[in-house]
């Protein structure tokens, strides 16, 4: 789950970079010692004070040394595949929520049925289990919101929308009354588009017996794409790029007059830092992606991470105890409290109280309508470039026949998603 995709898969960049308690995260070290425990966490996934408190509490209670090794997102798939095929390399590990099912299907993860009855967030739990069997536990989630320039919206006389129609009306006012680009929206931000498809009751792909079938050539997917294209008409962004290249938060927003954009917490923080570094002052407001009606927010991709135990853990008993403590109500609440950028809690008994008007407030509001892509090993094949969903979006925005393009995309999705 690379940071630039949460995106595509996404996570928020949290307030503090996590430094290694063990080695430098190159993959050295290892489990297998009854007096130690090896934990792999991803770069940027937890504030250092939280890690320190957790490991100190665990070591005091169990007399076991915890070695936290920090892993980089780049190349993590290969490192995980290797580690999970070896005895004792890692005990507890963080996985992107779209990765978990794939590793569970290959037999790399231990069953965690004893933790199934904890009050996990229902939307986040879906990515951690297969056929009601738990192979990981939710850790945190994050999703996109609309980020807007308060001054430009005020200049245009635009108000924060509560429906799709009000959203379009606000963008029209900005176009009429300012020189700003009403919304920056590249043609291939496919997880944003997927939310609109989910609003219509559609999906990228659906289960068909024991296999999956692409489902973009449907009225629901076409309606979702039509709304995306309507928004994209207010943007000068090309139809054949996504939000990552160029990076919208640091390459586009700080250097152009952009009235609004759709992004993650780490992107908002990055844009603010870039604007301030250039001598400017950011005045961002935030609101959830609106739905079709005022009583239902729009669906948003719910990215995040799970925690799991290697089937070949060197210290499986202590791994389970560590996992239980790390995701307990006490430490889950401390994790939420420690993250000023905001995360979606993993448990229903954890309270998120973000500051009014903050990114986190808008993000948490959408958490109950988060959607996930198909949770199957082959989904990673679909996201490999050239991504058929992206290609379809560009064709649709450029006015090509939607049905023909969607049928072509569905055929490619079906082939890829059923390939392990």
Q: What is the pLDDT of residues 116-126, one digit of tens each?
A: 999 999 889 98
Whether residues 189 and 84 share a domain: the answer is no
Over range 150-162, report the average pLDDT: 98
Q: Would 328 be classed as within a structural domain?
A: yes
Q: Would 38 be classed as within a structural domain?
A: yes
Q: What percent of the chain has pLDDT over 70?
A: 91
Whether residues 109 and 156 share a domain: the answer is no
Whole-number average pLDDT of the chain: 89
Say whether pLDDT at 14 is over 60: no
The pLDDT, as a whole number, for residue 340 is: 67
What angle, rounded to 10 degrees, do the helices at 402-417 and 388-397 form? Answer: 170
Whether residues 129 and 12 share a domain: the answer is yes
Neighbour tally for 87: CB within 10 Å = 12
Whether residues 159 and 202 share a domain: the answer is yes
Say whether pLDDT at 28 is over 70: no
Q: Would 95 be classed as within a structural domain?
A: yes
The predicted-structure confidence for 265-286, as pLDDT tens digits, reads as follows 889 999 999 999 999 999 999 9
Residue (of 133, 18, 40) closest to 91 by Cα position: 40
Whether residues 327 and 385 share a domain: the answer is no
Whether residues 257 and 404 share a domain: the answer is yes
Q: Would 73 be classed as within a structural domain?
A: yes
Q: Would 202 be classed as within a structural domain?
A: yes
Whether residues 198 and 112 share a domain: the answer is no
Q: Would 157 be classed as within a structural domain?
A: yes
- Max avg pLDDT among 42-46, 142-146, 337-341: 142-146
Over range 30-40, report the average pLDDT: 76
Whether residues 136 and 211 share a domain: the answer is no
Phi, psi of 83 (to 5 degrees): -60, -40
Instruction: Supply the range of the domain harboring residue 156.
Output: 145-298+374-417
Q: Would 402 be classed as within a structural domain?
A: yes
Q: Would 256 be classed as within a structural domain?
A: yes
Whether residues 397 and 284 share a domain: the answer is yes
* Least confident span in 40-49, 255-264, 333-342, 408-417: 333-342
Whether residues 345 and 381 share a domain: the answer is no
Count of structural domains, the chain? 2
Whether residues 264 and 411 share a domain: the answer is yes
* Residue labelled with tokens 């300012």: 178
Decide if 21 contacts 66 (C-beta within 8 A). yes
Reduced 3-state DSSP string for the chain:
CCHHHCCCCCCCCCCCCCCCCCCCCCCCCCCCCCCEEEEEEECCCCCHHHHHHHHHHHHHHHCCEEEEEEECCCCHHHHHHHHHCCCCCCCEEEEECCCHHHHHHCCCECCCHHHCCCCECHHHHHHHEECCEECCEEEEEECCEEEEEHHHHHHHCCCCCCEHHHHHHHHHHHHHHCCCECCECCCCCHHHHHHHHHHCCCCCEEEECCEEEECCCCHHHHHHHHHHHHHHCCCCCCCCCCCCCCCHHHHHHHHCCECEEEECHHHHHHHHHHHHHCCCCCCEEEECCCECECCECCCEECEEEEEEEECCCCCHHHHHHHHHHHCCHHHHHHHHHHCCCCCECCECCCCCCCCCCCHHHHHHHHHHHEECCCCCCCHHHHHCCCCHHHHHHHHHHCCCCHHHHHHHHHHHHHHHHCCC
Say whether pLDDT at 1 is over 80: no
The predicted-structure confidence for 197-223, as pLDDT tens digits, reads as follows 999 999 999 999 989 999 999 999 999
Return d(Cα 389, Cα 382) in angstroms, integer. 8
Whether residues 160 and 261 share a domain: the answer is yes
Q: Domain with 351 in it: what CATH number?
A: 3.40.190.10
């Amino acid at each position: 789950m690379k940071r630039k995709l949460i995106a595509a898969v996404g996570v928020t960049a949290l307030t503090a970079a996590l430094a290694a308690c063990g080695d430098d995260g190159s993959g050295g070290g290892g489990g297998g010692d009854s007096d130690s425990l090896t934990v792999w966490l991803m770069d940027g996934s937890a504030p250092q004070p939280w890690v320190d408190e957790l490991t100190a509490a665990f070591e005091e209670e169990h007399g076991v040394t915890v070695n936290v090794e920090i892993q980089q997102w780049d190349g993590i798939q290969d490192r995980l595949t290797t580690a999970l095929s070896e005895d004792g390399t890692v005990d507890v590990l963080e996985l992107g929520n779209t990765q978990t099912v794939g590793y569970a299907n290959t037999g790399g993860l231990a069953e965690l049925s004893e933790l199934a009855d904890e009050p996990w967030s229902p939307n986040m739990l879906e990515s951690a289990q297969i056929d009601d069997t738990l192979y990981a536990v939710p850790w945190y989630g994050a999703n996109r919101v609309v980020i807007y320039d308060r001054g430009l919206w005020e200049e245009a006389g635009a108000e924060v929308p509560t429906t799709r129609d009000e959203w379009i009306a606000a963008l029209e006012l900005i176009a009429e009354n300012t020189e700003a680009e009403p919304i920056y929206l590249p043609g291939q931000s496919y997880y944003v588009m997927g939310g609109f498809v989910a609003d219509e009751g559609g999906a990228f792909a659906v289960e068909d017996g024991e296999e999956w079938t692409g489902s973009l050539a449907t009225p629901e997917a076409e309606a979702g794409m039509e709304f995306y294209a309507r928004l994209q008409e207010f943007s000068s962004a090309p139809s054949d790029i996504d939000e990552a290249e160029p990076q919208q938060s640091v390459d586009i927003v700080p250097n152009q007059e952009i009235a609004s954009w759709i992004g993650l917490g780490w992107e908002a923080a990055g844009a603010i830092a870039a604007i301030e570094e250039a001598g400017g002052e950011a005045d961002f407001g935030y609101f959830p992606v609106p739905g079709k009606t005022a009583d239902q927010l729009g669906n948003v991709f719910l990215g995040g991470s799970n925690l799991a135990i290697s089937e070949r853990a060197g210290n499986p008993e202590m791994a389970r105890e560590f996992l239980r403590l790390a995701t307990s109500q006490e430490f889950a609440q401390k994790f939420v409290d420690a993250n000023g950028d905001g995360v979606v809690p993993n448990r229903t008994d954890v309270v998120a109280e973000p500051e009014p008007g903050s990114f986190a407030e808008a993000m948490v509001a959408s958490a109950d309508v988060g959607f996930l892509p198909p949770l199957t090993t082959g989904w990673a094949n679909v996201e490999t470039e050239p991504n058929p969903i992206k290609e379809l979006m560009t064709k649709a925005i450029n006015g090509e026949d939607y049905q023909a393009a969607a049928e072509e995309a569905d055929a490619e999705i079906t082939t890829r998603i059923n390939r392990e």
